[in-house]
Amino acid sequence: MMNMADRYASRVGARAWRMTSLPPPPASGGQHRLPLWKGRVYINRNIQISQNLTDHQDKIKAWSQKSLHGRHRYDLQQQHVDMVASNAWLKRGDLFPETEGFMLTIQDQVIDTKNYQKFIIRRPNISDTCRHCHSSPETIQHITGACKSIAQTDYKHRHDQVPAIIHQNLAFQYKLISEKVPCYKYQPQSV
């Protein structure tokens, strides 16, 4: 049975060793030059590993061909979608890592909805009917914009938050407020 270090090494085409601590520094007092650390695994940098790496276009092609994770890529390729604007939130870097990860799982449509449980995980004896409206399949698209039972509550709340965000940005820009607060905490003052 292969351990994790051996599996990793076989994937990158190198020889790996399990180590519990760094090897002693060189006698000359210089820095370590050979090990490349990956957790508790180190790989000798002198070994060529480039034969297993693919170029950028091959990676994009492989991503696009995935039936589940390729959906977001497919959606971005639609004519009516602005790819730069759709991915701008990733470049800004103003989200918590957990929030960013959650948003990426939504984009990849791997949130644990009833539809996901029935058709992707293939759980037996499960209905994919929405837990709220009990009329449509519970998909990401249905939850985020089409469920009739949450239309008057959550969708309205999300809709009503947009003017507050715009108000805060304009008030900050024109120095009517001195600092920004998270958009869900901001309450515009009446005039």
The pLDDT of residue 53 is above 80: no
**pLDDT for residue 160:** 85
| pLDDT: which is higher, 101 or 19 | 101
**pLDDT for residue 54:** 66
pLDDT digits (tens, 9 = 90+) for 85-128: 988 888 888 888 898 888 888 888 888 899 989 988 899 999 99
Count of alpha carbons within 13 angstroms of residue 105, beta-carbon side: 11
pLDDT digits (tens, 9 = 90+) for 141-172: 899 888 998 888 888 888 889 999 999 999 99
User: Per-residue DSSP letters for 42-63?
Assistant: EEETTS--GGG---HHHHHHHH
Residue type, 72: H
**pLDDT for residue 93:** 83
Q: Is 185 exposed, middle or buried (0-12, 13-18, 19+ CB in 10 A)?
A: exposed
Which pTM value belongs to this model?
Answer: 0.53
* CA torsion, ordered 36, 41, 44, 45, to nearest 10 deg: -30
User: Per-residue DSSP letters for 110-179?
Assistant: -S--HHHHHHTS--TT---B-TTTSSSB--HHHHHHT-TTSIIIIIHHHHHHHHHHHHHHHHHHTTSSSS
- For residue 95, give both structure tokens: 């989200």
With residues binned 3-state (H G I as helix, E B as strand, rest as coil), the percentages for the chain, rounded to 5, are 45, 5, 50
- For residue 52, give both structure tokens: 């297993």
For residues 128 and 114, the answer to whether their CB atoms sit within 8 Å is yes
Number of residues written out for the chain:
191
Return d(Cα 72, Cα 57) in angstroms, integer.
17
**pLDDT for residue 167:** 93
What is the DSSP-derived secondary structure letter of residue 137?
B
Residue type, 169: N
